[in-house]
Structures are given as structure tokens and as C-alpha cells.
Structure 1
Amino acid sequence: MKNNKIYRNAAVAMAFLAAGAMTTACSDWDDHYDNNGVTGSASETIWENIKANANLSQFADLIHKAGYEDVINTTQTYTVWAPLNGTFNYDSLSALPVSNLKEYFAKNHVARFNFPATGSINELVTMLNKKMMPFVGNGTYTFNGVELVTPNVPSSNGVLHVTNGMANYRANLFESLDSVAYPIDSISRYFHSYDRKVLDVSNSVKGPVVDGRITYLDSVFVESNSLIYLHNALINREDSSYSMIVPTNEAWQKAYEQVKKLYNYKPFTYVKEVPATNLNKATEAENYDNGSRDLDFSLLNDSVIHFVIAKDLFVNNNLYHNKVLKELQTGENLQTDSIVTTRGNIYYGDDATALFQGAKRIDKSNGSMWLTDSLRMRPWIAWNPIIKVQGEYGVAKSYNTSATTRNSVTKAEQNPDIQGTVSNGSYLTVTPLSAASNPEAIFYLPEVRSTEYAVYICFVPENINKNTYVENVRPNRVQVTMGYNDLNGKPQEKRLSTATFENDIHKVDTVYVGDFSFPICYYGTGLSTSTQKEYAPYLRINSRATGTAAASKNDRTLRIDFIMLVPKELDTYLKEHPGYKYQHDLD
């Protein structure tokens, strides 16, 4: 709570500064570079020259209150842009807390090194608070849009410019999360729970040693936030350019209610060794383990839900087609083929346009904030994606088999009479133990959400390789069973259908085998990538070929390209919208 209070003070400070900038006075053109009563001595420091000029007394007082006079009174080289008395809201600024006054006013007018106003200038000056201010002109000059009325006052440790108003502080996207002007407390609390702050000794200005301890005239702190790195969105950096979709509290809560249904975490048990044919054969207690014994479900639930809500809120304006966002304004329709978020999700066409519909653009120092009352992400892109398990990598167990092998087929090798292509160029072959055996293969399904999926299995025909002659190509005939945990955490199995399924031998065939609703969520429950599989539900594929090996109409050898769980909402949408472009192919 302490941090939140500090941030809120910062937000109030920014509001004061914006108001202060509005009182900037205007001079007639003929008054350019009148010294306005401001003089200086090249033998005096910048601070001494400021203090000696009555027309800069208000600026001097604020610098003193911020505890910053010692900084610009050293031998280090600085440039200071000092506004004349009466050109800014002195009373509002004087009422600010010292920390805010220093960061948003004092440091906003001071830069390291010499920046004289001479010749043609067009550059961005990095201020002591890391803000980048435009300093431009040729004969006459402006600093962050404010005119210089007395440039180049000589000083022993740099140069002093007198301006006709204060440099307005412009918050970046990260700082804007603290704005009191918008109802965005929910996302603000989430992000600031990951804040860290440490003293940067090397960049702090050392003072005298007091009682054996070093003091600092200017303490520079490095503030970090691990969450912005997790989202690959450095929205605290002034040299970046992002578009950030910022949900109001109402939008955040609506999204939370929608997402939490998909992330229903409950204590569960997993099967150490999934038995052949039927889970009921695994009756020994030692074959079960409490896979959730080390998990804090309340923490997991809250952190995962917040993470997936925020996952697609950030777009780097400098990448791909995202550059159009630099010019997009409130109420305009986005004209682009696609938008790529900082987490790598791609939104095509109308999905990309929808992200910014109904949102209000608010410009910041490093991009634009898009304030919205509703998050318009497709759930299957943002928080409920397709789960695809490649056959050649995903088999966990197999029974009645002589071998499980990975086979590859290139496009050049593929039989031209076979439609479709093999995903990833590889598939799994499950060879029966004997000519009369029916093999079975078990695949773990990691990161399943608590939702309904349409389940697909992709089969590869025996003659997929044009260099392998096959006289009699036959389809597989299989039965499919799902292994999962019920709401009480007990392992269960359920057949997806009493019927069997056969594939089309004329193509790499993705066969729909039924729908299934998982009662609980497994996403993020593994302790590592390798153990995640052990906690996951599984799919059991049993060959159900009948008759003798010679007379059977079905091939007993299974060739599995992949298993895919498609969120039912997406599955229905795809059938209703043929041609819909989505970043994950279903083939």
C-alpha cells in the first residue's frame, strides 16, 4: 500500500505540472533574446547565476525545495533551462512533495553536458529524469516547445538558458498507470506489485561523509519491474514506442470473470504409470500421487488470470505492420493486415481492428495509451489457445507394440496423390507387437484449461512417401479415451464415443473424434517443462482392427501426425466463418 500511495502522489504531481504549463506567458517576437534582466558570470556556477537573478527567484526557490541546488553547484557540467518568474504555476508546484518536485520539475529542466544555443539545432536532449526533450532552432530556439528568451548565460560548470515557461512533464506509459484521471486502479495494482527499487551508487552524486557513512547530494534509484520484461514490453523506457491497451476497472473485471472460468484450479491426483486399456486396472494406491501437493492454488489462480488478461495489451510500434499505430487516432479504423503483440500473438484483419475499436488514444512520451471499457481480444488468441501435441514428440506410453518410431517426410518425398502435408515434416509410427495385435498409444496433453474442446487426431496414410511402394493401403480404425481429473481431483477415464473412427487414406486426415470438457485447469501446474506432462491429462488411442492380419480391412499400425484440442468456441466459429485467418493452422 505504501508504494501505491507514492505513485498516486506522482500522478497528482503530473496533473499539477500540466496545469502549471498552461500559465506560460507569451512574448512578442521583437522581445527575442532580450536578457529580461538575467545576467551571468562565467566565473560563477549555474546555481550561483540563478540565485543572483531576481527574475529567476521562483525557479531558484523550487530547486532549493527539491534539494537540487548542490547538484548544479558542482564542477560537473550541466545545462539548465530555467523559466522566468510568472511563466508557470509556482504555487501548485511549491505544494508538491519533495520527491515529486525533484523528479517532475527539477530534473525535468537539467541535463548533463553542454547544450549551447548556437547555429542549427535539432536534437533530443536526455534530461536527468531520463525524459527526452526536443531542443530545436536556428537563430531562435525552443526547448520542448517553449521559447528561449535569454540563451547561453555563461557559467563555470555549463550553460544556463532562460525560457518563457516551464518544460511540461510528459508521463510515459508505465508512469501513466498511476493516473488519477482514469479508472485504471486494477491494472495499476497488478503491475506495481512487481516493482523493485535499489540505489544506483555509481550515478548518485556523493556528498560528505557523516558519522563514517557516505551521504548523497542526489540519490539516483534504479526502479525495475519484472512484469514488463515478462510481457516483453519496456513501457518505462523513453527511447521506446508502444501502443498499450489499458482496460478500465470495468473492463478488467469483465475480463477477469471471463478468464477465471478457464483457469479453475483444484487439488488433483495424477497416475504415475497409465495402465494398458483401462484406468480401472490401476487399483494399487502406490500408482497415484498428489500432483498438487506443492501448489498454492489461490496464488496460482490469481497470478495466472492476471497474467493472461495483460498478455496481449502491448504492441511494439516499431515492428512489422505495427507501425501504422503511430498515426492511428481515436475513432479511426485500423488499416493493416495484422498486428503482432509483444508476446508474439498475431491478430489478423478484423481481429486486429477490433483491438482498438471504442478505445480512446492518449499520447504519452513513449507511445500511446488506448483507454477502453472492453477488451476485444479473441479468447482463442489471448487466453484459450489451441493445444497441439506433435505425435513424434508426444507419446508417453504404448502397449502391445514392438516399436514407436519417428518418421520424417519432406515435401519432395511426399506422395503427390496424397492431399495435405505432414505437420512439422514428421509423424509417429506405432508398430503392433504382432500381426494380430492391436497397439495403443497414450499422449499427455499439457496446459489444458478448464473448458470444452473439440478433439482431433491427424492420421498419416501408409503410402505417404512416394519412394515406398504399398500394395494395399488401409485406414486405421481406432477408439479414443480421455484421461482426466474430476472436480474432486480423482483420476477418471471416459470414452469420447462408443463408436470407432476411421481415417481417409487419400489424405493426411485430421479426424474429429468428439468433444470433451475438462473440469479443472492444468496450465502452469508443472514444476518444469519436463514434469508438466506428468501432471497433465492424457489421450488414449486404441487400434480396433478386426479379423486376421491378411483379411482385415484396417491397418493395425498407427501413424499419428498430431493431436489437437480446439477450444469449442473457436471450432464453432471456424465452421461458421470459412476462410477465417488465424495464426494457428488446423492442418
Structure 2
Amino acid sequence: MKRNRIYQAMGGFLGAAMLLGMPSCTDDHYDIKTDGLPCATNTIWQNIEARQDLDSLAMILKRVRVYTREDDPNKQKMTYSEYLSKPQTVTFWAPVNGSYNAKHYLDQLDAIDELRKTSPEEANKQEYILGQQFAQNHLARFNYESNKAEQEIRLLNGKICVYSPLDSLFNGVKMTEGYFPSTNGVLHLLKGQSPFAYNIFDYMAANANIFENVYGTLSDPAIDKKEFDENLSIPGGLNEDGEMVYVDSIYRTTNELLNESGAQIKNEDSLYVAVIPTDAAWQQAVEKVGKLFKYDKSYKYEYKNGNFTQTYPLDADSLSDYNLKKRLITSMYFTPSIFPGDFSRDDIDGILNHVYNADSLISTNFVTYYNPTPGKKNPLFNCEPVKASNGIIFPLTSYDLDPSYSFVGTSRIDMYSSYNVGYVKNSENGLGTSIELTDGTWNDTLVDVSILGDQKQYRYFHTNKEMTIEIPLRNLYSTSYRIKAIIVPNRAHPDNVWLDKDYKEVLQDTKFRAELWSQGKRIETTGTSDKQLIHVSDDSAKVYTIFESAEIPQCFVGLPNSITDCYPILKIICHAGKQKQPAGVSGRKGIGIAKIIVEPVRPKDE
């Protein structure tokens, strides 16, 4: 992909800006080179006014005021024509008449003047945007004429573009021959308008008609909040009512969802890959991902001694809508800074190749997206990319990735920790005993526990009765899960070996069954007959599939903070009471559990 390639935006346009780094500090200032042209006697603005082929531009610059920021409290009265008259050093690339649609901007200014009569704040915002996208998109601080090689320039609006004097190109637009030294910088003439490079957030705003769901949510004042910062504002004096009047009022803009996403998509110096559903794709995403957020109208919580002791009523529909939107919008950004390898800002081909073919990608809020077709293109990226000033955008027209490959992750519950034991009925050692097998506490010649890895840890429960071990399954969505357990043979530890009267080992027939409970109801069981019981190997630690596909009927993710200890319960029921020992044989009866694995059931598994 060439660096100057331009992608056409959907429902609007996107000028291609180079994904480049910041300019070098050595570009800060140069003496003006006239190349034989007369010495500077006029300001840039005087040179613009003197040219008939720039009279349309002059009409625009006279009417657009300079804002230092969108919420500039000073309601600036200085226009860009006045700015270009100031003693300073800037460079201005001016599009000549007929090379761009000047009437479009003059009409916009008329509309802004009319809007200011009824909504001055919105009018100021529109004027700020016009200044950012037009005037400042042709303007840069300092003089760049001593360097004739291709160079990177930071425009006044913060965008990065390429200036190539030898090729007579500025931001991909052809310049006329020669330039005009001025007392406050240099004026160039362009045969077209400098294309504005939207950042990711700007791109959504410019195409709000097709991103109504995403941008409409992100820009909602309840989410995108502007708050007065008293500490940074400059106080003046008290008014007649005794209230402080500030000379310079500073406002901070915070966006709850962008902050939670970890993606600063308004920042020009950032680099992201954004997968943004258009409204058509949003509806598909809601249908697919919405199934994960099915809430009950009330939840039992505060699990103690095998029972949930409290009940909390919910507005299920409202919570489902909020968490669904939040999950989709905060999880659609990826940063190349954590991709394997070293990708530069302009290595678009390399970045695209990685996102298309990686086995998995981790979003900025740590959601792992798996490629359901390893070795082939990930169906998440099913549209043409659009290049933004701070990354790459995929404006999805369809949502083709099943959520079991993204939002529904795998949990590996470590039973070595007592935190993961909710309650044990008929245990002779309470919540079990943590065991770590070492050279002195492991019958390594009898039992293979390599599946446990380097840390050979598990929890052992023993009893002479039917024992029920209740294990919380935290943070599950309303979807199907495969539930497994890694069980360690009792004889792995010398203390739990069965011996006869001659001290010879006797093998054990450890067996168990399981039940899955949610909100006081049993939703799955393995059965109680001997054939349905799960028999544990005496020779090695193994993974046992307890439930191939268990449907959790309600969502336990994103519940209100006041709902504590609320989750489905996996019950491991050990039939130690029915486990008979031959005459003269001694030893504990029980079961060793290393991990419980809860993983999503995916379409190809069904």
C-alpha cells in the first residue's frame, strides 16, 4: 500500500494523512530563501489580499475566528486574516480560486451566523471545526524553505503531513511555481485544497449519519462530559452577587467509555486499529452479542454456608442495554504498540497483514479476539480499511464474528486457593487442604502429574461420607460453556495412599458426579447411576469433561456493585461413603482437584 493512497470514506470523505511521527526539533526555524524573488516587505495576509486568485480565500479567512480550543471561553475576536498579519514565523499554503469549493465554506459561515442567534455555543463549536479543518489545515508554524528534501510537518491543527518542495507537493496537492517571502513567514499557492485527515473520533463525527449508534453514544453529554476545572482556571474578581468571575475558565472533557476503553482516539500522536460497526452492522452485533446479556429481574446474592442470603431487584432491560453498548464500544480498538514485532507508523501493509492473520488480538481494554479460521483472514475485518490521522478504521457493514471468539473467555479456576471454594458439606478437613507436590511429597514413580506444569498444586478434600464441594463460577455470561476439571489421583501424595496390613498399596476407585446450579435452580447434572459417575484414574492427573455444553440462563457480568458473591455454583459430589475399602486396608477417602476450566462453546464445536 503506497503511503499517499486515499480511501474514500462512507457517507462522507476522508483525506489521507500520513501516519507519521512528530517533526524533528531541527525544523523549528530557518531563514527565508527567496530563490531570486524580491525581499519580503508584506505580511502573509497582505500578500493574500493583493492576489486576485486568492480573493475567495480572503473572504473566508476574514470571517473565521481563531480558537485555541473547542471550548475557548474567550470567544476569540481575532480572525485568521488578523492572525496572518501578526509578527511571527508561519508558513501558509493557499488554495487558489477554482481549485476547491469556496462557496461551501462561505455557506457554512452564513449558517453559523444564523445559528449563533439561537445557539451561540453550538455556533462556536461549528466555527472551531471549520477553522480546524480548513484554515489550520493549510497553516504551520515556522519556515521550511531551507530544506528542499521531503519533510514531515505538523500543521497548526496538530495533523502531520508531508511537504516535498522538490516535487512541488504539499499534503499530496500540487503547488504552483515559486513562493512569496513575507515579513512573518512564507506564502505558497496550491492547485487544490489540502485534504483534512480525520482522526478516528473525527471520522465518526463526520460520518455520524452511518455511525448513529456508536458516535451517538460516545458524544452523548451524559458520556462525553465537560466539567469546569476551578484549580486551573484563572480567577478575576467577584461580581455584584459575590460570585467569582474567571478571566480564563478551563474545562476538562472526559469520556466515560473512551476512558474505559483505554484508547485515546482523539489524540493525534496515538496509533490504533479501530473496528467500528456502522448502524447496519450494529444491529447484527446487538443480535449476536446481546444474547450474552440476558439478566433476571432479581438476583440472589451474598453466598454463605451453601446458601444465597439476599435478593436484589433489577431493571433487567435497562442493564442489558447499557452493558451491551458499553462492551461493544469499549472493545473495538487495538494498538500496534503491543503487536509482536516493531511496526512503524507508516507500515500500513505490515499492520494490516498482522490484524488480518493473527491467531488472536488483544483490544485496548484486554478483550482477546480469536481468529476462528487460523491461517486465513479474520472475518472481523470484513471491509475495506480507511486511513485516519491516528490509525486505521474498519467501518463494518456486517458483524461476522461470533462472540464466543471474543467476549466469552476461558476461565481456569485454581483450586489451590481457598478463595475458589464456596462451601463443603461433610468434609473432614473444612475447605480442603492445599497440597504442593515436591520431591519429598510426591509418588512420582506411581503417578504422572505433568499436566499440572511446574507448580504441582491442588486441593485435597477427604471424608467418609458423601461429600459436596461447592465451587463458585464467577463472571459468566448467559451463554453455553464447556466445564472441565483437572483431578489428581489420591495416591499422588504419600499421605493419601491406601495400604493393606502388609503395607502393600491398594488401588482406589475414586468417583464423583456433578451438578450445576444457578439462582437456586439445578440446571445440569451428570446423573447418579454408577455408569454416569466419573471415575478417576489412579495413574495420572487428567482433564475430565464434566459438562460438554451447559447453558447459563442469566448473565452474571456487569451486575451492580452492591450485588456481591453472586454466581452459578458447580457442585462436585464425591461418593466416598460408597467407596468400600477391603478388610485390613487403611487410608483416607477423598478427591484432589487442581483446576476447574470453564470455556466457551463455539459454533464449530456444536
CA distance in 1, matches of 2:451, 2:516: 27
Question: Once the 2 structures are TM-superposed, how far is the Cα of residue 444 of structure 1 from its aligned partner?
Answer: 1.0
Cα 1:328–1:469 shift into 2, 3 Å = same
Contact 2:510 2:579 in 1 (8 A): no
Contact 2:449 2:456 in 1 (8 A): no
Question: Which residue of structure 1 aligns with residue 288 of structure 2?
Answer: 258
CA distance in 2, matches of 1:62, 1:90: 8
CA distance in 2, matches of 1:35, 1:15: 40
Question: Once the 2 structures are TM-superposed, how far is the Cα of residue 169 of structure 1 from its aligned partner?
Answer: 0.7
Contact 1:117 1:141 in 2 (8 A): no
1:172 corresponds to which of 191, 194, 199:
199
Question: Once the 2 structures are TM-superposed, how far is the Cα of residue 297 of structure 1 from its aligned partner?
Answer: 3.2
Question: Which residue of structure 2 aligns with residue 506 of structure 1?
Answer: 539
Letter of the 1:86 counterpart: G
Question: Once the 2 structures are TM-superposed, how far is the Cα of residue 76 of structure 1 from its aligned partner?
Answer: 5.2
Letter of the 1:442 counterpart: E
> What is the DSSP-based 3-state SS (H/G/I as helix, E as strand, rest coil) of the residue aligned with 1:256?
helix
> What is the DSSP-based 3-state SS (H/G/I as helix, E as strand, rest coil) of the residue aligned with 2:386?
strand
Cα 1:484–1:504 shift into 2, 3 Å = same
1:89 corresponds to which of 90, 93, 101:
101
Cα 1:101–1:48 shift into 2, 3 Å = same
Cα 1:335–1:540 shift into 2, 3 Å = closer
Question: Which residue of structure 2 aligns with residue 585 of structure 1?
Answer: none
> What is the DSSP-based 3-state SS (H/G/I as helix, E as strand, rest coil) of the residue aligned with 1:354?
coil
What is the aligned-residue RMSD (CA, Å)? 4.5
Question: Which residue of structure 2 aligns with residue 476 of structure 1?
Answer: 510
Contact 2:297 2:315 in 1 (8 A): no
* Long gaps (5+) in structure 2: 1-8, 17-33, 67-78, 113-126, 499-504
Q: Deviations over 1:142-164 (max 9, x none)?
A: 321224444352224x4433333
Letter of the 1:56 counterpart: L
Question: Once the 2 structures are TM-superposed, how far is the Cα of residue 130 of structure 1 from its aligned partner?
Answer: 1.8
The answer as to 2:135 corresponding to 1:106 is yes
Q: Deviations over 1:365-400 (max 9, x none)?
A: 223222333223242221223333221231122232
Q: TM-score, normalised by structure 1?
A: 0.74
> What is the DSSP-based 3-state SS (H/G/I as helix, E as strand, rest coil) of the residue aligned with 1:300?
helix
Question: Once the 2 structures are TM-superposed, how far is the Cα of residue 54 of structure 1 from its aligned partner?
Answer: 4.1
Question: Which residue of structure 2 aligns with residue 60 of structure 1?
Answer: 58
Cα 1:348–1:409 shift into 2, 3 Å = farther
Question: Which residue of structure 2 aligns with residue 3 of structure 1?
Answer: none
CA distance in 1, matches of 2:483, 2:317: 29
CA distance in 1, matches of 2:144, 2:229: 29
CA distance in 2, matches of 1:326, 1:410: 51
CA distance in 2, matches of 1:259, 1:347: 15
2:183 corresponds to which of 155, 158, 166:
155
> What is the DSSP-based 3-state SS (H/G/I as helix, E as strand, rest coil) of the residue aligned with 1:535?
coil
Question: Which residue of structure 2 aligns with residue 315 of structure 1?
Answer: 334
CA distance in 2, matches of 1:482, 1:538: 6
2:267 corresponds to which of 224, 230, 237:
237
2:325 corresponds to which of 306, 320, 324:
306
Q: Deviations over 1:532-568 (max 9, x none)?
A: 5x11121222221224556689962221112223333
CA distance in 1, matches of 2:493, 2:88: 74
The answer as to 2:410 corresponding to 1:386 is yes
Contact 2:405 2:602 in 1 (8 A): no
The answer as to 2:422 corresponding to 1:396 is yes
Which piece of structure 1 moves more, 262-271 or 318-327? 318-327
Which piece of structure 1 moves more, 415-424 or 560-569? 415-424
CA distance in 1, matches of 2:13, 2:398: 26
Cα 1:335–1:259 shift into 2, 3 Å = closer
> What is the DSSP-based 3-state SS (H/G/I as helix, E as strand, rest coil) of the residue aligned with 2:327?
helix
The answer as to 2:358 corresponding to 1:360 is no
Which piece of structure 1 moves more, 476-485 or 354-363? 354-363
> What is the DSSP-based 3-state SS (H/G/I as helix, E as strand, rest coil) of the residue aligned with 2:422?
strand
> What is the DSSP-based 3-state SS (H/G/I as helix, E as strand, rest coil) of the residue aligned with 1:102?
helix
CA distance in 2, matches of 1:198, 1:376: 39
Contact 2:89 2:143 in 1 (8 A): no
Question: Once the 2 structures are TM-superposed, how far is the Cα of residue 200 of structure 1 from its aligned partner?
Answer: 9.6
Contact 1:401 1:430 in 2 (8 A): no
CA distance in 2, matches of 1:201, 1:54: 48
CA distance in 1, matches of 2:488, 2:459: 9
CA distance in 1, matches of 2:597, 2:354: 38
> What is the DSSP-based 3-state SS (H/G/I as helix, E as strand, rest coil) of the residue aligned with 2:145?
coil
Question: Once the 2 structures are TM-superposed, how far is the Cα of residue 257 of structure 1 from its aligned partner?
Answer: 1.3
Percent identity of paired positions between Structure 1 and Structure 2: 20
Question: Which residue of structure 1 aligns with residue 24 of structure 2?
Answer: none
CA distance in 1, matches of 2:49, 2:591: 87
Q: Deviations over 1:331-376 (max 9, x none)?
A: 9994555544334415347256133564122222223222333223
Cα 1:272–1:473 shift into 2, 3 Å = farther
CA distance in 2, matches of 1:179, 1:385: 35
The answer as to 2:170 corresponding to 1:143 is yes
Letter of the 1:480 counterpart: A
Question: Once the 2 structures are TM-superposed, how far is the Cα of residue 513 of structure 1 from its aligned partner?
Answer: 2.2
Letter of the 2:134 counterpart: F
Question: Which residue of structure 2 aligns with residue 7 of structure 1?
Answer: none
> What is the DSSP-based 3-state SS (H/G/I as helix, E as strand, rest coil) of the residue aligned with 2:285?
helix
Question: Once the 2 structures are TM-superposed, how far is the Cα of residue 90 of structure 1 from its aligned partner?
Answer: 1.0
CA distance in 1, matches of 2:333, 2:378: 15
Contact 2:517 2:523 in 1 (8 A): yes
The answer as to 2:555 corresponding to 1:521 is yes
The answer as to 2:156 corresponding to 1:128 is yes
Cα 1:459–1:62 shift into 2, 3 Å = same
The answer as to 2:485 corresponding to 1:457 is yes
CA distance in 2, matches of 1:91, 1:364: 26
> What is the DSSP-based 3-state SS (H/G/I as helix, E as strand, rest coil) of the residue aligned with 1:430?
strand
Question: Once the 2 structures are TM-superposed, how far is the Cα of residue 253 of structure 1 from its aligned partner?
Answer: 0.8
Q: Deviations over 1:122-181 (max 9, x none)?
A: 33222222211212334x64321224444352224x443333332111212222223449
1:429 corresponds to which of 459, 465, 468:
459
> What is the DSSP-based 3-state SS (H/G/I as helix, E as strand, rest coil) of the residue aligned with 2:188?
strand
Question: Which residue of structure 2 aligns with residue 288 of structure 1?
Answer: 309
CA distance in 2, matches of 1:338, 1:458: 26
Question: Which residue of structure 2 aligns with residue 116 of structure 1?
Answer: 144
CA distance in 2, matches of 1:553, 1:259: 54
The answer as to 2:586 corresponding to 1:564 is no
Question: Which residue of structure 1 aligns with residue 23 of structure 2?
Answer: none
CA distance in 1, matches of 2:544, 2:349: 45
CA distance in 1, matches of 2:190, 2:281: 43
Cα 1:391–1:59 shift into 2, 3 Å = same
CA distance in 2, matches of 1:204, 1:271: 46
CA distance in 2, matches of 1:441, 1:382: 31
> What is the DSSP-based 3-state SS (H/G/I as helix, E as strand, rest coil) of the residue aligned with 2:364?
coil
CA distance in 1, matches of 2:207, 2:496: 70
Cα 1:465–1:88 shift into 2, 3 Å = farther
Q: TM-score, normalised by structure 2?
A: 0.72
Question: Which residue of structure 2 aligns with residue 442 of structure 1?
Answer: 470
Question: Which residue of structure 2 aligns with residue 24 of structure 1?
Answer: none
Question: Once the 2 structures are TM-superposed, how far is the Cα of residue 301 of structure 1 from its aligned partner?
Answer: 0.8
Cα 1:569–1:366 shift into 2, 3 Å = same
Contact 2:174 2:190 in 1 (8 A): yes
Contact 2:14 2:198 in 1 (8 A): no
Which piece of structure 1 moves more, 547-556 or 314-323? 547-556
CA distance in 1, matches of 2:475, 2:317: 18
CA distance in 2, matches of 1:220, 1:414: 69
Question: Once the 2 structures are TM-superposed, how far is the Cα of residue 118 of structure 1 from its aligned partner?
Answer: 1.7
Cα 1:73–1:258 shift into 2, 3 Å = same
Contact 2:15 2:198 in 1 (8 A): no
Letter of the 1:560 counterpart: I
Mapping for residues 531-570 of structure 1, pairs under 5 Å = 532=564, 534-545=565-576, 546-548=578-580, 556-569=589-602
| Length, aligned pairs only | 521
